[in-house]
């Protein structure tokens, strides 16, 4: 029998070296090093609790704390040397600490498992990352609110089935996208509440027999509650799924906005011009300016959705408690949230710089009979049942279309005669600005209401930014580590 090798940091009874392909597949440090700051914060809280419980001497505690501070400085400066042989972020940091300070480092892992350690790290990382994404959401909401204020009275075509339908304003249209972002923010708020439970102290799966103080750790890490079942705590990834589901839906919202920018920037629409900074040229056709960034925002939604599906499939067949399959959560989590955040930030800058074309927006209004419903409403006011009014206007639209005419070219007198109503009533109904002003009810595109909604959207954005800053404030353990 071969002698036991030393390439395994923990565990005994091994007589063979780890197969190199096993080592490569088993190692996660290439991506889970993203959790290094959170791992060091968690270790600071754990060490402080061990000291307070008499499980760690003051001298050992101070040596560990000094070592953790040095590791943080090296990690954040890029000077820390990561080793695949040490498998993951936890083993890399603890083994390096042991190399630096010796025996006290061996006491840091008292009453702790990598199972509850990674569960903690992911919750801390998620809390911070969600706060950063909340700030990005708030910024895009504020950009859209500002644009809506400046374009509150710019009439444009509203669409259903991508067919011209009824007049709205550009400000109203932009605020529709902002409303979707509000729901994205609400999902993050809900997620933070469920993420706010400390799993440390759950051990590998069954807690510990040592007299630890889980509540103390939770306080040091600014968690408002403790996980209630150790088996669940080390295997639960619901909060990651929720975050990735929010990211997937948020990316879909951005994809829809990106799709509209692609469409509206075409010569066929001509509603918007995207600045050169957000377009690219063709390798063959010298005249081209392609809306590649809007297209990438649209395309990356599929990537984020794929990340979510991958994690769900990984989780669906796992028995309790921890299984190595859970290592597969991190790359997908990091990619989904990083991609969403990047798309939020670039979309905010692109939308803020876009140049909307007022004349093109106005010219399109007459070509699609957008005021047909207004004319039907005029008939209703004259006592005609709506279904009959609908049929009369539909027949008129069909006739005008066959003759290549519009309401404007036909004129109020001819339209009124065809419909059998007063010419003044028709003239009022064929004025797009008056049409918008008549839409004076909550949620409608009356310019004054759009301005009011834009102000409220800006206020919601500022509130979200403040909440995100609160989520991201340092916890007591982080302050111990960094001061």
Mean pLDDT, range 297-306, rounded to an integer: 98
User: How would you class 103 by CB atoms within 10 Å of its CB: exposed for 0-12, middle for 13-18, buried for 19 or more?
Assistant: exposed
Question: With the C-alpha atoms ordered 316, 320, 325, 328, is the resulting torsion angle positive or negative?
Answer: positive
Contact 144, 177 (CB under 8 A): yes
Instruction: Please compute the mean of the pLDDT values over residues 372-384 and round it to a whole number.
Output: 91
Q: In which band, very low, low, confident or very high, does the pLDDT at 463 lie, cut at 50, 70 and 90?
A: very high
Structure tokens at 209: 């027999």
Q: What is the pLDDT of residue 6?
A: 44
- What is the band of 13 on the pLDDT scale with cuts at 50, 70, 90? low
pLDDT at 43: 98
Q: Whole-angstrom Cα distance, residue 314 to residue 325? A: 7
| 226-248 average pLDDT score | 98
Is residue 282 annotated as part of the catalytic site, yes or no?
A: yes
3-state secondary structure at position 337: helix
- For the chain, what is the radius of gyration of the CA atoms? 30
Residue whose C-alpha is closest to residue 65's, from 23, 24, 30, 100: 100
**CA–CA distance, 346 with 173 (Å, rounded to integer):** 20
Averaged pLDDT, 265-276: 95
Q: What angle do CA 268, 274, 277 make, to 5 degrees?
A: 145
**Residues 463, 469, 472, 475, CA torsion sign:** negative
CATH of 114-363+464-473 among 1.20.200.10, 3.40.630.30, 1.10.540.10, 3.40.50.10490: 1.20.200.10
Q: Output DSSP code: residue 55.
A: S
Q: What span, in angstroms and rounded, lies between the C-alpha atoms of 278 and 256?
A: 17
Mean pLDDT of all residues in 279-304: 90
Fold (topology level) of 372-429: Ribonucleotide Reductase Protein R1; domain 1 (1.10.40)
Percentage above 90 pLDDT, the chain: 84
DSSP code, position 406? -
**For range 189-218, the mean pLDDT:** 97
Give pLDDT, residue 185: 97
* Residue in this structure with the two tokens 């003759």, named with its chain if needed: 403
Confidence at 8, pLDDT banded by 50, 70, 90: low
Asked whether the CA dihedral 286, 289, 290, 293 is positive or negative, the reply is positive
Mean pLDDT across 395-411: 91
Confirm if 251 and 343 have CB atoms less than 8 A apart: yes
Residue-by-residue DSSP string for 173-191: HHHHHHHHHHHHHHHHHHH
Residue 57 has pLDDT above 80, yes or no: yes
Indicate if the pLDDT at residue 114 is higher than 50: yes
What separation in angstroms does the CA of 364 have from each of 19, 270, 368, 414, 438?
68, 10, 7, 22, 21
Q: How many CB atoms lie within 10 A of CB 305?
A: 19
Q: What pLDDT is attached to residue 1?
A: 34
Contact 134, 186 (CB under 8 A): no
pLDDT of residue 284: 80
Catalytic residue among 83, 224, 282, 401: 282
Active site annotation includes 235: no
pLDDT, tens digit, 9 for 90 and up, residues 142-191? 999 999 999 999 999 999 999 999 999 999 999 999 999 999 999 999 99
What mean pLDDT comes out for the span 353-361? 97
**Cα(188)–Cα(409) distance, rounded to whole angstroms?**
51
Closest residue by Cα to residue 130 from 326, 281, 333:
333
pLDDT value at position 103? 95
| CATH no., domain 20-107 | 1.10.275.10
Consecutive H or E run containing 355: strand 355-356
Cα–Cα dist 171/177, whole Å = 10
Domain parsing of the chain, residue ranges: 20-107, 114-363+464-473, 372-429
- Of all residues in the chain, what percent carry a pLDDT higher than 70? 97
At 51, the pLDDT band (50, 70, 90 cuts) reads very high
219: how many CB neighbours lie within 10 A of its CB?
A: 17
**What DSSP line would sit under 425-437, residue for residue?**
HHHHHT-HHHHHH
Q: Which residues pair with 154 in a beta bridge?
A: none
Q: What SS3 string covers 249-294?
A: HHHHHHHHHHHHHHHHCCCCCCCEECCHHHCECCCCCCCCCECHHH
Dihedral sign, Cα of residue 439, residue 445, residue 447, residue 448: positive
Secondary structure of residue 225 in the 3-state scheme: strand
Q: How high is the pLDDT of residue 11?
A: 59
């Amino acid at each position: 029998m071969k002698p036991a090798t030393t390439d395994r940091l923990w565990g005994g009874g091994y007589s063979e070296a780890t197969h190199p392909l096993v080592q490569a597949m088993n190692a996660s440090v290439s991506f889970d090093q993203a959790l290094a700051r959170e791992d060091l914060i968690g270790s600071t809280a754990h060490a402080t609790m061990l000291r307070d419980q008499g499980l760690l001497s003051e001298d050992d505690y101070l040596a560990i704390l000094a070592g953790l501070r040095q590791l943080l400085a090296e990690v954040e400066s890029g000077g820390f040397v990561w080793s695949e042989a040490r498998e993951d972020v936890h083993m890399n940091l603890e083994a390096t600490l042991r190399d630096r300070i010796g025996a006290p480092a061996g006491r840091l892992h008292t009453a702790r498992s990598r199972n509850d350690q990674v569960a903690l790290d992911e919750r801390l990382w998620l809390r911070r990352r969600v706060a950063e994404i909340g700030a990005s959401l708030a910024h895009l909401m504020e950009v859209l609110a500002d644009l809506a204020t400046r374009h509150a009275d710019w009439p444009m075509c509203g669409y259903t089935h991508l067919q011209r339908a009824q007049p709205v304003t550009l400000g109203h249209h932009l605020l529709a996208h902002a409303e979707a972002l509000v729901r994205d923010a609400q999902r993050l708020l809900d997620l933070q509440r469920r993420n706010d439970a400390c799993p440390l102290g759950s051990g590998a799966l069954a807690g510990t027999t040592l007299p630890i103080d889980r509540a103390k750790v939770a306080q040091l890490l600014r968690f408002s509650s403790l996980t209630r079942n150790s088996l669940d705590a080390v295997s639960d990834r619901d909060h990651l799924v929720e975050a990735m589901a929010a990211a997937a839906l948020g990316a879909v919202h951005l994809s829809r906005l990106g799709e509209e920018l692609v469409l509206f920037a075409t010569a066929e629409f001509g509603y918007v011009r995207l600045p050169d900074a957000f377009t690219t040229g063709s390798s063959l056709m010298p005249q081209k300016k392609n809306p590649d960034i809007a297209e990438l925002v649209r395309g990356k939604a599929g990537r984020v959705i794929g990340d979510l599906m991958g994690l769900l499939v990984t989780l669906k067949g796992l028995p309790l408690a921890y299984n190595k399959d859970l290592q597969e959560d991190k790359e997908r989590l990091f990619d989904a949230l990083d991609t969403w955040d990047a798309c939020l930030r670039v979309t905010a800058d692109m939308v803020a710089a876009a140049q909307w074309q007022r004349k093109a927006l106005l010219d399109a209004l007459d070509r699609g009979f957008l005021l047909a419903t207004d004319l039907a409403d005029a008939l209703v006011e004259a006592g005609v049942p709506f279904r009959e009014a609908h049929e009369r206007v539909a027949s008129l639209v069909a006739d005008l279309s066959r003759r290549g005419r519009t309401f404007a070219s036909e004129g109020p007198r001819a339209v009124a005669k065809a419909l059998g109503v007063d010419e003044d009533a028709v003239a009022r109904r064929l004025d797009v600005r008056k049409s918008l002003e008549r839409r004076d009810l909550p949620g409608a595109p009356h310019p004054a209401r759009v301005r009011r909604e834009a102000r409220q959207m800006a206020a919601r954005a500022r509130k979200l930014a403040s909440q995100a800053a609160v989520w991201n404030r340092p916890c007591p353990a982080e302050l111990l580590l960094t001061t």
